[in-house]
Structures are given as structure tokens and as C-alpha cells.
């Protein structure tokens, strides 16, 4: 069900939401948080769809804040979506025009669920310091996506310079399964220290950078970053220990092989994570992610140190596993 409210006010939007509560009942109840999407018109539908899918695990009120043309008279056009058009959430789309386009936070306040956490998400074009932005100051968690920036590496550096507890990035969420597999591999015998590590991934992948930074910070060993062609994501991780190498390879973006020393090679489903899955993961916890904080603020700096720089002999291909050719 979609209801358009052109040239409206926040009071009118709230009144209509109350009407829906009376007419539809439970469909508009049971929300556990408010998710605010600060997005451009061209990217709004994809972002709303991803949030809708994530809301099936975390019922919430989704508010999409879209700033339109700033010239002309102030106007608020709203749209309310519930039922099959809103997943397990209720969606309020706010399009702001004129002077109102610069005051989205003021329009937002009356529509926040009372006594509930607020999560803010910038699918693209996040402010330099999200925690200090008008919307960011309202939120317990602030989600960005460095992979959508024109220069992902520079974007991650800005996130590190301006990090505040509650910040997170989907580039970090995309490597959650990788980190779990590597941690599980190190929990198995032989119980030896990691002497060095190598992370291979696309030259434009902030997830690969964060993976290398996480290993450098957690293992306190030299970590190199091999760069593959753009668009390939993370393709492999090698952990070198006295008894041999542990290789986690994903050449096709779907199935990985894990090769611990002295053990059979195992095939593991490791498909690239969808947007909704990443968002749902981030909504599982609303407290600060301390591991992400250390990786961002300490691990990335370690990768910039001379001992962690890529040597001139390393090529743009990931390391090969046992009896396996390096993926291109």
C-alpha cells in the first residue's frame, strides 16, 4: 500500500500514520528502531529496497530523506508505504524542496519512533564527519559505504581521522565471514604464531584494505597487500606459520577453498554479500564496534608503515594455494 501526500507537513504525515495504525493494526506496530536513509533521488529506490529486506529481521520505521531542488518555495512531498511495499517495516519517504532541503533534521525529528534507537545510513556521499552532521547527532549507529566513494582509500582515511564510537562502514561488514573463517582456522592445530600475512584484493576494494589492517592489528605481524584488478573484491588471504601456509582463496567471488597445512583442502560457500544482508548484520548490534574502531584507527596506520608496504617484486595477482594457479 502506497499513499502519496504532496505539499504536506510532518503533522499531517504523523496523523496519517496514526490512521494506518487504526485501520491496519499490527502492520504498523512492533518497530524496534528508526532507520534514516540520507540519499539522492537517483539512488533512493535501491536503498529503500535494501532496507526493506533488512527490516524482515529488524522491524523498523524507515525514513528516506531526499533533498531536492533548493531554489524556489519550501515544500515537503511525502509518501507512506506499508504492507507488501514495505517489507516488515513502514516506509516514510520525505522529499524536501527550497530552503527546507537544508533542514532535513528538523523535518525528521517529529517522525522518529519515541524511546527507540536511531540508525542513520548514507548509501553514497556521506558527510566528512558523519557523527557531527545534523542527522548523525541523532543516531546511535551511523553507517557509511566507502566502496561507493570515488576514491575508496581516501574515504577510509577520512573515516579513520573522524571516527566516533557508533560509526561503521559496509566495507567492514562485507568481510565478516572472511574474518570468521580465518579466526576459526587459527583456532585449530597447529597452534602456532602467524609470521606474516598477505591479502589479495581489488585495487579499489576498501574491504581488502580493512582485511589487511585487521590482520596487522590483531596478529601484530607484517602484512602485505597485493592488488588485483578493480572490481574483484577480496580474492585471497595467506597466513604463514612455521608449519606452512594457510590459504583462503576465492577466485570466482562465490566459492572459496581453505587449505590449512597438513589438512585436506575444504570448499566453502563464500558468495559476495548482498546489501540487505550487510545492513541486517549492522542492525544486530547498536553498541560501538570496538574491533572495527581498532582496525580503522590503528590497523590502517600500521599498513602505511614501511614494513607493511607492498614490495616491488609483488605482482597484481594473489598468491596461489597448493597445486592451484593464482586467479586472474
Cβ contacts of 159 within 8 Å, gap of 6 or more: 144, 146, 167, 169, 296
Regarding whether 184 and 134 lie in a shared domain, the answer is no
End-to-end C-alpha distance for the chain, whole angstroms = 47
3-state secondary structure of 81: strand
Same domain, 38 and 126: yes
Do 8 and 104 share a structural domain? yes
The pLDDT value given to residue 124: 95
> Of 169, 195, 211, which closes a domain?
169
177 plus 164 within the same structural domain? no
Contact at 8 Å (CB) between 80 and 104? no
Structure confidence at residue 120 (pLDDT): 98
76 & 121 share domain: yes
Give residue 287's pLDDT. Answer: 92
CB 213 within 8 A of CB 299: yes
Are both 15 and 162 inside the same structural domain? yes
Residues 136 and 188 in one domain: no
The answer on 209 and 129 residing in a single domain is: no
Please state the pTM of the whole predicted model: 0.89
Percent of the chain with pLDDT over 90: 75
* Number of domains present in the structure of the chain: 2
- Output the pLDDT for position 189: 85
Domain boundary among 169, 189, 213: 169
CA-to-CA dists, residue 250 to 178, 181, 219, 230, 306, angstroms: 10, 12, 22, 15, 28
Clarify whether residues 227 and 185 are in a common domain: yes
Give the pLDDT score at 322.
35
Q: Report DSSP letters for 92-152, one per residue.
A: EEEEEEGGGGG-HHHHHGGGSPTT--EEEE-SS---SSGGGSTTGGG-SEEEE-GGGSSSH
Domain range for 21 is 2-169
Rounded Cα gap, residues 198 and 326, in angstroms: 13
Distances in whole angstroms, Cα of residue 242 to Cα of each of 108, 135, 248, 264, 314: 57, 50, 17, 18, 22
Strands of the sheet with 234-241, listed across from one edge: 223-228, 196-202, 234-241, 244-249, 255-259, 266-269
The confidence score (pLDDT) of residue 314 equals 37
For residue 26, the 8-state DSSP code is: G
Angle made by CA atoms 286, 209, 37, in degrees to the nearest 5: 40
The whole-angstrom separation of Cα 74 and Cα 260 is 62
Tell me the pLDDT of the chain (328 aa) as tens digits. Answer: 889 999 999 999 999 988 887 777 655 456 789 999 999 999 999 999 999 999 888 889 999 999 988 888 999 999 999 877 666 678 999 999 999 999 999 999 999 998 899 999 999 999 999 999 999 999 999 999 999 999 999 999 999 999 999 999 999 999 999 999 999 999 988 889 999 999 999 999 999 999 999 999 999 999 999 999 998 899 999 999 999 999 999 998 899 999 998 889 999 999 999 999 999 999 998 999 999 999 999 999 998 765 444 333 333 344 444 333 333 3
C-alpha 204 chain-centroid distance: 16
Amino acid at each position: 500500500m502506497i499513499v502519496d501526500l504532496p505539499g504536506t507537513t510532518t503533522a499531517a504525515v504523523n496523523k496519517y500514520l496514526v490512521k494506518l495504525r487504526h485501520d491496519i493494526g499490527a502492520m504498523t506496530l512492533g518497530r524496534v528502531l528508526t532507520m534514516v536513509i540520507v540519499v539522492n533521488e537517483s539512488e533512493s529506490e535501491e536503498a529503500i529496497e535494501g532496507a526493506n529486506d533488512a527490516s524482515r529481521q529488524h522491524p523498523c520505521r524507515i525514513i528516506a530523506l531526499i533533498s531536492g531542488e533548493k531554489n524556489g518555495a519550501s515544500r515537503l512531498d511525502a509518501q507512506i508505504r506499508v504492507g507488501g511495499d514495505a517489507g516488515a517495516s513502514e516506509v516514510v519517504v520525505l522529499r524536501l524542496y527550497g530552503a527546507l532541503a537544508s533542514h532535513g533534521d528538523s523535518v525528521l525529528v517529529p517522525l522518529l519512533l519515541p524511546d527507540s534507537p536511531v540508525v542513520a545510513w548514507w548509501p553514497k556521499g556521506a558527510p566528512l564527519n558523519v557523527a557531527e552532521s545534523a542527522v548523525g547527532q541523532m543516531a546511535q549507529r551511523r553507517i557509511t559505504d566507502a566502496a561507493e566513494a570515488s576514491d575508496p582509500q581516501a574515504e577510509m582515511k577520512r573515516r579513520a581521522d573522524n571516527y566516533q564510537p557508533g560509526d561503521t562502514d559496509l566495507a567492514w561488514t562485507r568481510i565478516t565471514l572472511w574474518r570468521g573463517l580465518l579466526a576459526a582456522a587459527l583456532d585449530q592445530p597447529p597452534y602456532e604464531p602467524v609470521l606474516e600475512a598477505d591479502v589479495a584484493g581489488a585495487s579499489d576494494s576498501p574491504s581488502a584494505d580493512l582485511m589487511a589492517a585487521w590482520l596487522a592489528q590483531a596478529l601484530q605481524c607484517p602484512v602485505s597487500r597485493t592488488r588485483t584488478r578493480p572490481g574483484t573484491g577480496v580474492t585471497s588471504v595467506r597466513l604463514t606459520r612455521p608449519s606452512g601456509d594457510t590459504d583462503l582463496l576465492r577466485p570466482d567471488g562465490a566459492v572459496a577453498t581453505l587449505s590449512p597445512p597438513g589438512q585436506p583442502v575444504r570448499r566453502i560457500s563464500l558468495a559476495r554479500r548482498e546489501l540487505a544482508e550487510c545492513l541486517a548484520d549492522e542492525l544486530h548490534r547498536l553498541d560501538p564496534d570496538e574491533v572495527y574502531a581498532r582496525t580503522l584507527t590503528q590497523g590502517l596506520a600500521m599498513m602505511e608503515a614501511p614494513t607493511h608496504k607492498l614490495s616491488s617484486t609483488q605482482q597484481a595477482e594473489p598468491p596461489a594455494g597448493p597445486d592451484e594457479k593464482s586467479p586472474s
